[in-house]
Structure 1
């Protein structure tokens, strides 16, 4: 009996030893740490952060930080303090090249830098996200193709105040839709573009019923214009995440004039959206730089 017990004890110790060896030989998963970039902002001045690609997402750790994309520049984020002497917080920015950029935000009355270029940093403050996210190089190539491609689908246009505004091409590739717009100024007064916005809206608003609308934010704008000179025309392509329109709703494309009243809106129905032309897939041997 003593011999049997001794064998059992020895076997138990060998079993524990085997578990320990297996545990040591198994690879450990080490989480990758992203070193956040220190950033100082103030209440009385605006800090501009310039990214190499368009901004597609911004998350503030606190409402004490005011953030907005610069008008006419999709890759510039403007930051300002909502109040002075707020506690330390953070900021996360996702860009169209598939990068997540991390920042630690602190308040200071006099920031040492007001204009910061992310191109000048190394990659320790950012990581590449899933390839399912937008690749800016690809988007630029597809948008350029959409700009010059033939389109046989239905076109939507509106004319007012000597301004011809039209949607003359809808294209699709993977998860992105490319809207080709043309602005023609037949007047002698230049048209300064203040805003170009996209909404999905209710066709009719019933009495005592709140109207619902969803704004669509562009991922990329190719051949973007800020001014249409008199007696001239320009086409541009706006890339957005693919969508369709529910029943009793429509896509509103709004064009606003800066310091003027020549505002124009296009109404696009779902049967126009669903007839988008497919852009040919890029060759696999094409290389992109980031």
Structure 2
């Protein structure tokens, strides 16, 4: 009798533990659940998903959905249905900052939106995807440079032009002790512009006749974009990452672009008041 009572008690305890575990698991899952965003796509129209960071990974749930990155860019994904009325499926995208985006795809002959821009994550957001720890700091700089490269112009900054070539400062950003300079290179001439050198250095605003002008070189940590050639009738954006610095009084930061085997050299001056307008992200 005692043995039977003991077995019943053990069974009741095990049932209670199992129920508690199921409840705890359910509570944890409900808090961490990432609901997919519903999205309709068509056979005849292309849907563009614009992400704030470069795309690292794409997984589609069905071959009935056509997916590709837009040619020449890293943060735009293009979707189209491969057939009419495909069965509901999903799409998962991981971007360079570790963010996971989940979509539930349905067929729609007339999608309500063809261009969807995904918002930046709020402050304090923790990425869901974790990349390898090797060269972590360099990876952060590369990721941040990619982010800055697709940002809209934020500064009516200085510019320099000569013989159809233009160098313009579009914006400055700062993150974790690194300054990011967003530059636009434009070639409105009929001759390609081969880049020889892109320099950043601090120099006196006015050079004294009695003293030699000293240049304080600022060495880039990373340069994102094409720094080889600017083709005719084209524009391109490059991002230069530099270790954080300030510009002393009566001095300027000079950004100098030199042409290889040519004379269309450009330079623009950045004052400390421009630097103070850097955007933190």
The alignment's TM-score, normalised by the length of structure 2, stands at 0.51
Alignment partner, residue 190 of structure 1: 192
Contact 2:154–2:170 (8 Å) recurs in 1: no
Alignment partner, residue 141 of structure 1: 143
Runs of 4+ in 1 over 2 A off after TM superposition: 150-154
Contact 2:157–2:169 (8 Å) recurs in 1: yes
| 1:4-43 pair list within 5 angstroms | none
C-alpha distance in 2, partners of 1:205/1:157? 22
C-alpha distance in 1, partners of 2:190/2:279? 35
**Would the alpha carbon gap of residues 220 and 149 (structure 1) be closer, same or farther in structure 2, given more than 3 Å must change?**
same
Alignment partner, residue 152 of structure 2: 150
C-alpha distance in 2, partners of 1:154/1:187? 23
Return the match for 1:204 from 183, 203, 206.
206
Contact 1:154–1:272 (8 Å) recurs in 2: no
The offset of 1:203, in angstroms, is 0.5
Deviations 1:206-234 (Å, cap 9, x if unpaired)?
22122121000000011132011111111
Alignment partner, residue 273 of structure 2: 271
Q: How many residues are aligned here?
A: 148
In structure 1, list runs of 5 or more residues that go unmatched.
1-130, 280-290
Contact 1:185–1:228 (8 Å) recurs in 2: yes
Deviations 1:120-174 (Å, cap 9, x if unpaired)?
xxxxxxxxxxx9x981110011011111123433411111110011011100001
Alignment partner, residue 55 of structure 2: none
C-alpha distance in 1, partners of 2:151/2:187? 23
**Would the alpha carbon gap of residues 232 and 198 (structure 1) be closer, same or farther in structure 2, given more than 3 Å must change?**
same
C-alpha distance in 1, partners of 2:266/2:171? 18
Return the match for 2:229 from 222, 227, 236.
227
C-alpha distance in 2, partners of 1:134/1:202? 36
C-alpha distance in 2, partners of 1:203/1:253? 14
The offset of 1:271, in angstroms, is 0.2
Structural RMSD (CA): 1.6
Alignment partner, residue 180 of structure 2: 178
C-alpha distance in 2, partners of 1:186/1:250? 28
- Structure 1, 262-271 or 201-210: larger mean CA deviation: 201-210
The alignment's TM-score, normalised by the length of structure 1, stands at 0.49
Alignment partner, residue 41 of structure 1: none
- Structure 1, 267-276 or 205-214: larger mean CA deviation: 205-214
Alignment partner, residue 57 of structure 1: none
**Would the alpha carbon gap of residues 186 and 146 (structure 1) be closer, same or farther in structure 2, given more than 3 Å must change?**
same
C-alpha distance in 2, partners of 1:195/1:183? 13
**Would the alpha carbon gap of residues 271 and 221 (structure 1) be closer, same or farther in structure 2, given more than 3 Å must change?**
same
C-alpha distance in 1, partners of 2:238/2:202? 21
